[in-house]
Copies of this chain bind each other. A is one copy, B any other.
Amino acid sequence: MARRSDHSRDELYDMALTAARSIVAQHGLEALTARRVAQEIGYSPGTLYNIFHNQDDMIIHMNAATIDGLRDALAAVPLPIGEAPRPYIEALLSAYLGYIEQNVELWRALFDFQLSADTEAPAWYMDKIGRVLSILSSALAPLYPAGQEDQTAKDTRVLWASLHGITSLAVDGKLSFVTGMTAQEIAPRLLHVFLAGISSAAPSKA
């Protein structure tokens, strides 16, 4: 049989992505196979290649949804107007850790996945990442004097990359290789020390 038109192309895309996210969320990225997604949506494996260029493409779209979810979670944190910046930053961190905790496997998939060497991430994907970073950056901005926007942007990346170390070790179950602490303990300590550091230190030595 062919040309069933039970579903439009967009519906198929949504169904496939929903199935993929469900499989990964429940069983991890290694359980995500073309045949399994196909079976879950009631189509054959070949059909997936009408929707996605290949498996990498499917995973990229899945990961994009994970990034969007994070942005929504961070955007939902209320921004206290005119107050001290630190409670807001701490609330963002809490939302960040909470989102990861509730989406462990999808979060793992986001970073476990490696783009094949020759291809690079599409522009719309980079945009989504930028939107998340801009939330963090605007939260840090009040801590820097005017004219230090460049340092703010850089330190946002430094802080995020550092946090990512903690969370990625956590979701991979590797934090226990080095400590008995949890990400919920380590991350606030990093934030605390980091904020103290930028308040006391010269803009940058390097």
A residues adjacent to B (C-beta < 8 A):
111-112, 114-115, 121, 126, 129, 133, 154-155, 157-158, 160-166, 168-169, 172-175, 177-179, 181, 185-186, 188-190, 192-201, 204-206
Q: Are A192 and B165 in contact (CB under 8 A)?
A: no
Q: Are A186 and B169 in contact (CB under 8 A)?
A: no
A192-B197, A192-B204, A194-B194 given; A154·B129 CB < 8 A: no
Please give the count of copies of this chain that the complex contains: 2
Closest beta carbon of chain B to A91's beta carbon, Å: 15
Q: Are B114 and A178 in contact (CB under 8 A)?
A: no
Nearest-neighbor residue (CB-CB) of A178 within chain B: B157
Give me 30 A-to-B residue pairs in the complex whose CB atoms sit less than 8 angstroms apart, sorted by A's number: A111-B172, A115-B173, A126-B177, A129-B177, A154-B181, A155-B193, A158-B190, A161-B165, A161-B169, A161-B179, A161-B186, A161-B190, A162-B165, A162-B190, A164-B169, A188-B206, A189-B204, A189-B206, A192-B201, A192-B204, A192-B206, A193-B193, A193-B194, A193-B197, A194-B197, A195-B197, A196-B196, A196-B197, A197-B198, A197-B200
Name, among A155, A157, A163, A181, the residue most crowded by chain B CB atoms within 10 Å (CB to CB).
Answer: A157
- Across the interface, A178 reaches (CB within 8 A) one of B160, B166, B186, namely B160
Please name all residues of chain B whose beta carbon is closer than 8 Å to the beta carbon of A155 when the two chains form the complex. Answer: 189, 193
Please name all residues of chain B whose beta carbon is closer than 8 Å to the beta carbon of A163 when the two chains form the complex. Answer: 162, 165
Q: State A69–B85 Cα separation when bound (angstroms).
A: 43
- Across the interface, A186 reaches (CB within 8 A) one of B158, B166, B172, namely B158
Please name all residues of chain B whose beta carbon is closer than 8 Å to the beta carbon of A111 when the two chains form the complex. Answer: 172, 174
